[in-house]
């Protein structure tokens, strides 16, 4: 059984559509979110921590909203910004910008404690390099000093723009993110999945995982 590691039930709802019935369940585990400019290292480290906690295959989902006119902010800080400013304020700030284009990004990190011999690019190399530079324990390195557990990353991206809140579906920033004339909160789960950052990443993961 695969554990989808998140404190956000909305993510589990979306993920379940991509995996065979009964093959995945949510694991409400709050892994440490390291400060990083990109989602990959956060998801990789989270996957190692969650795997050690669950002792079962895990998929960690780290996502964020990147606003062009704010040089990608809030990006990896999206959760903090949603909790502190709220999405209405993010919309108000974006309304003053010339460029309201934005993108959602999602990075999934898979870890099952094994290597990925069948996979072309099995390990998040950037994270390993960063871990090596930072020294022992920096990225969940094993107690015996061996390399960090292999993690496979899957990424998804969707372009859109920031608008005044519309719709009552979805979660998080969905009401202020418009793609193709509709906000994500105006779409049902299947429609959002068909175009979303998470849907794209899950599609890649599901294809790879089917052979695993
Ligand atoms: P976990 O870390 O426990 O998975 P979280 O909701 O904090 O839960 P993230 O750190 O990945 O997850 O999310 C960063 C922020 O982006 C957070 O405020 C989410 O509500 C928001 N977010 C993520 N995916 C989203 C989506 O598909 N639609 C709207 N907002 C999303």
Catalytic residue check, 62: yes
Report the nearest atom of ligand 1 relative to the CA of 82. Answer: 18
Summarised one tens digit per residue, pLDDT across range 149-184 is: 889 999 999 999 999 999 999 999 999 999 999 999
By the 8 A CB rule, do 47 and 60 touch?
yes
Rg (the chain; Cα; Å): 17
Nearest CA residue ID for atom 19, ligand 1: 172
Catalytic residue among 28, 37, 62, 83: 62
Judge if the beta carbon of residue 60 lies within 6 A of ligand 1: no
Lowest mean pLDDT among 57-66, 128-137, 142-151: 128-137
Of 79, 176, 189, which is best to mutate to test ligand 1, by the most ligand atoms within 8 angstroms of its C-beta?
A: 79
Say how far apart CA 105 and CA 181 lie, in whole Å.
19
Domain spans in the chain, listed from the N-terminal domain onward? 2-209
Q: Where are the alpha helices (DSSP H) in the chain?
A: 9-16, 39-54, 78-84, 87-95, 125-134, 189-195, 197-210
**Closest residue by Cα to residue 14 from 196, 161, 153:** 196
For residue 40, give every residue at least 6 positions away whose Cβ sits within 8 Å of its Cβ, in sequence order, or none.
107, 109, 124, 126, 127, 153, 155
Please provide the CATH number assigned to the domain covering 2-209.
3.90.950.10
Summarised one tens digit per residue, pLDDT across range 99-120 is: 999 999 999 999 998 876 433 3
Judge if the beta carbon of residue 29 lies within 6 A of ligand 1: no
């Amino acid at each position: 059984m695969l554990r989808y590691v998140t404190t956000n039930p909305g993510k589990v709802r979306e993920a379940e559509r991509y995996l065979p019935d009964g093959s995945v369940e949510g694991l409400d585990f709050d892994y440490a979110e390291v400060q990083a400019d990109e989602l990959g290292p956060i998801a990789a480290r989270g996957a190692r921590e969650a795997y050690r906690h669950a002792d079962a295959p895990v998929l960690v989902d780290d996502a964020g909203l990147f606003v062009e006119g704010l040089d990608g902010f809030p990006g990896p800080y999206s959760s903090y910004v949603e909790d502190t400013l709220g999405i209405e304020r993010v919309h108000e700030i974006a309304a003053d910008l010339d460029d309201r284009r934005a993108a959602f990004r999602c990075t999934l990190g898979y870890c099952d404690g094994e290597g990925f011999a069948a996979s072309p690019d099995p390990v998040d190399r950037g994270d390993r390099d960063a871990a090596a530079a930072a020294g022992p324990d920096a990225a969940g390195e094993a107690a015996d000093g061996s390399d960090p557990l292999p993690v496979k990353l899957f990424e998804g991206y969707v372009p859109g723009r920031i608008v005044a809140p519309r719709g009552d579906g979805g979660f998080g920033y969905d009401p202020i993110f418009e793609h193709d004339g509709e906000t994500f909160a105006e779409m049902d789960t299947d429609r959002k999945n068909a175009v979303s950052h998470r849907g794209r990443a899950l599609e890649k993961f599901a294809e790879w995982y089917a052979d695993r």
